[in-house]
Amino acid sequence: MTAPADQASFVAIAQALRAHDDYIVCGHVSPDGDCIGSVLGMTAILKALGKEVQPVVALKEPLDAALLSIPGAASLADVLEARPAATFIAVDASGDDRLGPAACALRQAARFTITLDHHEVSECQADIFHIDPSAPSATCLVWEVAKAAKVPLGVDLAGPCYTGLMTDTGRFQYQNADQRAFALASEMAATGINIAGISTAFYQSKTWAAVQMEALAAQRMELLGDGSVAFSFIAQEDMDRFCASYADCEGVIDILRSIGQVRVACILKARGDEVRGSLRAKDGTDVSAIAGRFGGGGHKAAAGFTLAGPLDEAIVQVKAALQEALGC
Ligand SMILES: [Mn+2]
């Protein structure tokens, strides 16, 4: 991968924030804790600078209870309802595919564009950007910008930033939970945020249907090859039976990877005419390369893809690809 050229310093981004006005802050499609945390954190910075800002996310599906537990998340507007603004900031997302068509149109309409991201990208279209794949979360970059902008580091900023860091590091358990992650978490904790409260609100807010989806996926789970790859799926009928939403299926993959000998977990979820695949690695396997075979992407330890067509065909195709890619 080639690093994008002309990476801006946090100070340069802070200066750009002061220089412009009328902002849209937008995250990626299928928003997660880091996406929502980055949008809310950046919004807090801009408000502290006295700027007009519309924080938006793609609300194609309603946010789940965990995401709604982040203070301010309930008031986020749908990207489809945003009015074009002079300045567009993309957080936790760089490419058109991650932003989705509605956000891309808003970015095109803006006169100045900024991107903060921690995903691998070969180029970045923004006027000014900071892309650091070694950053534990996008909210860490937002936090650095806040410090460079010299805005007050209060709980309204630290809360969402900590939530993004907590979720993208898998509660400080993944490979990206490095010294930097703990150092930044310590800075955020120093503001007086309620660490235990944030954790409880986020991780102990499952719905009954979500637990039913976990039970179902666990029951039909297959261990492929030598047993190091866990595979399962959720069909539309399963969701209908338990009145489960797509959000209710989000945590299912964690059940698959919790088994001792499993090093890679994969779940397929039917969504209308499409099938969405999620992949997680526990041992350093690069699952973004496997997702890439299906036109998807993500991080080394967590990636996803979307396939057109029926679930039964996707199951056969993905199982074969997993066995081939992982030699199991
Ligand atoms: Mn992220």
Average pLDDT over all residues of the chain: 94
Give me ligand 1 centre to Cα 219, in Å: 30
Give me ligand 1 centre to Cα 65, in Å: 19
In this predicted structure, the answer to whether residue 105 has a pLDDT above a threshold of 80 is yes
Give me ligand 1 centre to Cα 17, in Å: 21
pLDDT of residue 236: 96
Mean pLDDT over 206-228 rounds to 95
Q: What percent of the chain has pLDDT over 90?
A: 83
Give me ligand 1 centre to Cα 162, in Å: 12
- The amino acid that residue 252 corresponds to is V
Give me ligand 1 centre to Cα 34, in Å: 5
Give me ligand 1 centre to Cα 61, in Å: 19
Using the 8-state DSSP alphabet, how is residue 301 labeled? S
Q: What is the CATH number of domain 10-203?
A: 3.90.1640.10
- Report strand pairing: 229-234 vs 222-224: antiparallel
293 forms bridges with which residues in the sheet?
Answer: none
- The amino acid that residue 318 corresponds to is V
Query: Which run of H or of E encompasses 253?
Result: helix 252-257
Give me ligand 1 centre to Cα 143, in Å: 13
Give me ligand 1 centre to Cα 226, in Å: 32
- pLDDT tens digit string along 10-23? 999 999 999 999 99
First and final CA of the chain: distance in angstroms? 28
**What's the CA gap between 181 and 134, in Å, rounded?**
10
Give me ligand 1 centre to Cα 267, in Å: 20
Give me ligand 1 centre to Cα 120, in Å: 11
Give me ligand 1 centre to Cα 215, in Å: 27
Give me ligand 1 centre to Cα 91, in Å: 9
Give me ligand 1 centre to Cα 145, in Å: 16
Alpha carbon 69 to its chain centroid, in Å, reads 16
Q: Where are the domains of the chain?
A: 10-203, 208-326
What dihedral do alpha carbons 159, 164, 167, 173 form, nearest 10°?
A: -100
Kindly report each contact of residues 292-299 with a partner whose C-beta sits within 8 Å and lies 24 or more positions away, as own/partner: 293/321, 293/325, 294/318, 294/321, 297/119, 298/119, 299/119, 299/120, 299/176
Give me ligand 1 centre to Cα 38, in Å: 8
What lies within 8 Å, CB to CB, of 288 at 6+ separation is 120, 296, 297, 298, 299, 300, 303
Biggest CA pair distance of the chain? 58
Give me ligand 1 centre to Cα 76, in Å: 18
Give me ligand 1 centre to Cα 274, in Å: 24
Give me ligand 1 centre to Cα 90, in Å: 12
pLDDT of residue 67: 93
Q: What is the CATH number of domain 208-326?
A: 3.10.310.30
- The amino acid that residue 80 corresponds to is L
Contact assessment for residue 4 and residue 130, using Cβ atoms and an 8 Å cutoff: no
Backbone φ, ψ for residue 82 (5° rounding): -70, 145
In this predicted structure, the answer to whether residue 1 has a pLDDT above a threshold of 70 is no
Give me ligand 1 centre to Cα 53, in Å: 21
Give me ligand 1 centre to Cα 119, in Å: 7
Give me ligand 1 centre to Cα 118, in Å: 6
**What's the CA gap between 312 and 179, in Å, rounded?**
43
Q: Residue 58: how many CA atoms within 13 Å on its side-chain side? A: 20
Rg (C-alpha) for the chain, rounded Å, is 19
The residue with tokens 């907590």 is 166
Backbone φ, ψ for residue 203 (5° rounding): -95, -10
**What's the CA gap between 258 and 48, in Å, rounded?**
42
Cβ neighbours, 10 Å, residue 31 = 26
- pLDDT tens digit string along 121-150? 888 989 999 999 999 999 999 999 999 999
In this predicted structure, the answer to whether residue 3 has a pLDDT above a threshold of 90 is no
Give me ligand 1 centre to Cα 138, in Å: 5
pLDDT grade, residue 2 (50/70/90)?
A: low
- Among 125, 133, 162, which Cα is nearest to 36's? 162
What lies within 8 Å, CB to CB, of 240 at 6+ separation is none
Mean pLDDT over 26-41 rounds to 96
* Lowest mean pLDDT segment, chosen from 28-42, 56-70, 150-164: 56-70
pLDDT of residue 60: 85
Contact assessment for residue 234 and residue 267, using Cβ atoms and an 8 Å cutoff: yes
Contact assessment for residue 84 and residue 102, using Cβ atoms and an 8 Å cutoff: no
Mean pLDDT over 50-61 rounds to 94
Mean pLDDT over 230-239 rounds to 97
- pLDDT tens digit string along 274-305? 999 999 999 889 999 999 999 998 888 889 99
